[in-house]
Amino acid sequence: MGAPAPIRYLMATTPLLDNRLLILEDNKTVAQLLRYQAEAKGLIVFIATNKEQFRHSYLRLRPSMLLLDIMLGNDEDVLPVIDFLVSESCKCPVFFLTGQDQEILRSVSERARANGLMMVGAYEKKGPGIIRLMQKIDSYILS
């Protein structure tokens, strides 16, 4: 029998090692709502409120799931984060959330998918969007 695989190897090659969710959301109220709902499902939740914080958290945590707000403060968007994730060969499921219209949601989702990210859902913050997002996240939670 071979020796067990080192945890660093497992974390680098198996993104669903545990239930770590990294959320990029600049609206603290929305971020706390998402945290509350995700933790109630058994997820270990980390929140980043800007792109720089997200980069540092991603590299440190190697989360098993990502939830990204498409539009951040100061009229910034998530496209540089998508480029960063592609450069890091991100393999974990990615969910998008936005308060913007469906066209922006569709455009960003298509770019992420075209660049090889595992884009598994895109939802609006209003209406039933967050409820549907949390239902979809259930499919990616390890028991």
Residues 6+ apart with CB under 8 A from 45: 21, 23, 34, 35, 38, 39
- pLDDT at position 3 is 43
CATH of 15-140, picked from 3.40.50.2300, 3.40.50.12780, 3.90.870.10, 3.40.50.720, is 3.40.50.2300
Q: Which two tokens stand for residue 67?
A: 């939830």
Is the four-CA dihedral 103, 106, 112, 115 of positive or negative sign?
Answer: negative
- pLDDT at position 8 is 47
Mean pLDDT per 10-residue segment, the chain (143 residues): 43 59 94 94 94 96 94 84 96 90 83 93 88 91 79
Pairing mode of beta strands 65-69, 20-24: parallel
- pLDDT at position 17 is 60
- pLDDT at position 72 is 85
pTM (2 d.p.): 0.85
- pLDDT at position 102 is 77
